[in-house]
Amino acid sequence: MSKAIQAIRGMNDILPTQTAQWQYFERVIKQILQNYGFHEIRLPLVEKTELFARSIGEVTDIVEKEMYTFSDRPDKHDQAENLSLRPEGTASCVRAGIQNNLFYGQVQRLWYSGAMFRRERPQKGRYRQFHQIGAEVFGLEGPDIDAEVILMTARFWKVLGLKNLELQINSLGSNTARANYREVLVKYLTEHQELLDEASQRRLQSNPLRILDSKNPYMQEMISQAPQLLNYLDAESKAHFEQLQSLLTANGIEFVVNPRLVRGLDYYNRTVFEWVTTELGAQGTVCAGGRYDGLVEQIGGKPIAGLGFAMGVERLLSLLEQDHLLPKADVPHIYLMTMGDKALQPGMQLAESLRDSLPDLRLMLHCGGGNFKSQFKKADKSGAQMALVLGDDEVDNQQVTVKFLREDKPQQTLGHQELQALLNEII
């Protein structure tokens, strides 16, 4: 016998017992996004590697270590190109907007969902194939849209019932302010270079702000005493950040200003934010984003303001499961059993008739034959609320026997109209 083929490590199946929970979560998020005026865009899984190198940053961990990249085979129409499975959605959304002329002279509110790919060491909450729902806004520069996007994410948690999430915010300022701060930070870190771990040594000249986000416990005291970017903000960014805080406070949103919050991607400026939890161990960030006003121009479009976020679906589902906030898997309302060859055809006709008249009815028709005991056992295992039994007598009398599987009620024999009235009550 051949050896069974296993799934790739860190790329997981989503089983039928789980999909109802995924569908519930996606349905809630989609409805709220639509309520705030966002429209769905569907993006390809594979993009040119250059897109992510140019947007995320060539010296980030994602581009240097984590992307799944391969060389495409040339044909008579195209030369060989380096392609990558998308590690995040913002760059693809910006590329699509530029390519399809979505940005010029109009505001866009877009959302997307789907699989992302990063070659990391798999652990709980961090997988090589993971799923995100993200949203992006283009063409609005003020702190009002920053606040509304954060308010929308707060509404996600409110509707889902999640309570133990903390909002952390920060401002990275303008590109000029960041450049000035970078010089001060590099000077400070260089003075304490003996305390930097290997990853931080590598980032010292290429991406020093990422050192502030290090989780290395031996570096925390040194990092806590580093100069803070908030003290180097330009006047416009400072006013933007202060107004954002005022708008959040006025709408009852609690937050913590975290001066070490820098996010892992190079394209952010001004507002950045994260929703974090302590209930998932090391992978505590469940939703994060910020402003990226220079990214469209960086990828090849005309300058336009941008803002967005993404949420980790697996992490949020894990949190919802821990808090017992997920619905049970969908089960049939009805399991229809037929006894004997005479009942099979009218049984199938009855099933289709009920599906026509009751579109929301979940009805499973027994297939494969078997005696009453085996069929009844499968009816019970299905989780259905009741079983309908159609045998020779029921066919002759144009009736159906109803057996209640989850309630202590006597069985009933009903005509088809009486049956439909009963089913109307349970849907």
Q: What are the tens digits of pLDDT across the range 369-409?
A: 888 899 999 999 999 999 999 998 889 899 999 999 999 89
Q: Stretch 335-363: mean pLDDT, rounded?
A: 91
Calculate what percentage of the chain has a pLDDT beyond 70: 95
Sign of the Cα torsion 285, 107, 23, 43 reads negative
- Please, are residues 399 and 310 in contact by the beta-carbon 8 Å criterion? no
Q: How far is CA 276 from CA 65, 125, 421, in A?
A: 25, 13, 49
Cβ count within 10 A of residue 326: 19
Confidence of residue 264 (pLDDT cuts 50, 70, 90): low
Q: What is the dihedral of CA 53, 57, 59, 65, to 10 degrees?
A: -50
pTM listed for this prediction:
0.87
Q: Stretch 175-191: mean pLDDT, rounded?
A: 84
- Beta strand extents in 5-92 (DSSP E only): 39-40, 46-48, 69-71, 82-85
Tell me: pLDDT of 63 over 70: no
Tell me: pLDDT of 59 over 60: no
- CA-CA distance, 395 to 228, in Å (whole number)? 80
Q: What are the tens digits of pLDDT across the range 99-126?
A: 999 998 889 999 999 999 988 777 776 7
- CA-CA distance, 395 to 209, in Å (whole number)? 76
Q: How many CA atoms, within 13 angstroms, populate the side-chain half-sphere of residue 99?
A: 9
Q: What are the tens digits of pLDDT across the range 213-254?
A: 777 888 888 888 888 888 888 899 999 999 999 999 999 999
